Amino acid sequence: MNVIDVSGLTKTFGDRVVVDNVALRVAAGEIVGFLGPNGSGKTTTIRMICGLLAPDSGEGKVLGFDVRRESAKIKLRVGYMTQRFSFYEDLTIRENLEFVARLYGLSPRRIRVDQTIAQLGLESRRDQLTGTLSGGWKQRLALAACTMHEPELLLLDEPTAGVDPKARREFWDEIHRLAGDGLTVLVSTHYMDEAERCHRISYISYGKLLASGTVEDVVRDAGLTTFFLYGPDLMTAEEKLRAMAGVEQVAPFGATLHVVGRDGAKLEASLRGFVSDSRYSFEPGETSLEDVFIQFMGKSKDHKP
């Protein structure tokens, strides 16, 4: 069963088409990563899916409800964690959660709040003012608030921006625990390691959906070839390589250069000519998800007038 099954979603603001004919399907219990550059339409798409924004055109269902005509029913069954932290900083964690519980009409309120605090590991900070929390604890509070009413679908808009690696890992461990209990998750992110923790990913660029599938599918279908170049003075080597046939990306990674292109034969021929200088050598490398996304970004154009 698809929890999200929409097609043709389009949204225009003025003369700018922010979301252009997007189709998205997410099955029950899946964690799907939603990726793309800033301004690509991720947030607008998420808001249309959860009923906060009406699409100009398009159709489909979310949790079995019509995305255009039954948005009120969708809102009650969705948890939405926005990019910006939006809780009262002069209230404690517990007071913020009690406020959210009142909004949803949860009963018995005190028990529901206590359960949520325990589930998300917030006991030690329950009486701390929210404004004094670190980024990781604020993130945990936000997740607690948007799951307290036991939604069937969780929408996360760049939820781990600005938190440290340990907090990010703990957050993702919790997301997988929730998905294991049957919750469906759509999460937008800029982090490649987070994308790789998703069951599937969808990539949107300037309003258009360019790719969808498992990480392995998306990397394979991009049709890129990658080589690793070794040697001295890599900055100079990078400048020279960029002008060579078949070379579409060059990026330093530690003591190597990653050289990427779609025409593998042409790319390898250029590198063989380059390493006639015996100070350099190269070998086949594995194309990364980051390589693929940089390629997508290079092929897309911002449609902002």
DSSP labels for 84-143? S--S-TTSBHHHHHHHHHHHHT-SSHHHHHHHHHHHTT-GGGTTSBGGG--HHHHHHHHH
258 closest CA partner among 221, 298, 225? 225
139 closest CA partner among 116, 158, 112, 119? 158
Question: Where are the domain boundaries for CATH 3.30.70.2070 in the chain?
Answer: 225-286
Distance CA 45, CA 26 (A): 14
Q: What is the Cβ-side half-sphere exposure of residue 161, based on CA atoms within 13 angstroms?
A: 14
Distance CA 48, CA 24 (A): 12
pLDDT recorded at residue 305: 43
pLDDT string in tens for the chain (305-residue length): 899 999 999 999 999 999 999 999 999 999 999 998 888 899 999 999 999 999 999 999 999 999 999 999 999 999 999 888 889 999 999 999 999 999 999 999 999 999 999 988 899 999 999 999 988 899 999 999 999 999 999 999 999 887 888 888 999 999 999 999 999 999 998 888 899 999 999 999 889 999 999 999 999 999 999 999 999 999 999 999 999 999 999 999 999 999 999 999 999 999 999 999 889 999 999 999 999 998 888 766 554 54
157 closest CA partner among 257, 237, 50, 56? 50
pLDDT recorded at residue 182: 93
Distance CA 216, CA 32 (A): 14
The alpha carbon torsion through 182, 186, 116, 137 (nearest 10 deg) reads 140
Q: Would you say domain 2-216 falls under CATH 3.40.50.300?
A: yes
Coil vs helix vs strand at 181? coil
Rounded to an integer, what is the distance from CA 96 to the centroid of its chain? Answer: 26
In degrees and rounded to multiples of 5, residue 29 shows phi and psi of: 80, 0
pLDDT recorded at residue 161: 80
24 closest CA partner among 15, 32, 14? 32
The answer to whether the predicted template modeling score (pTM) of the entire model surpasses 0.85 is: yes
Question: Where are the domain boundaries for CATH 3.40.50.300 in the chain?
Answer: 2-216
Length of the chain: 305
For the domain with range 225-286, which CATH number is right: 3.90.550.10, 1.10.1060.10, 3.40.50.1220, 3.30.70.2070?
Answer: 3.30.70.2070
Q: What is the Cβ-side half-sphere exposure of residue 171, based on CA atoms within 13 angstroms?
A: 26
Which residues does 173 contact at the CB level (< 8 Å), separation at least 6? none
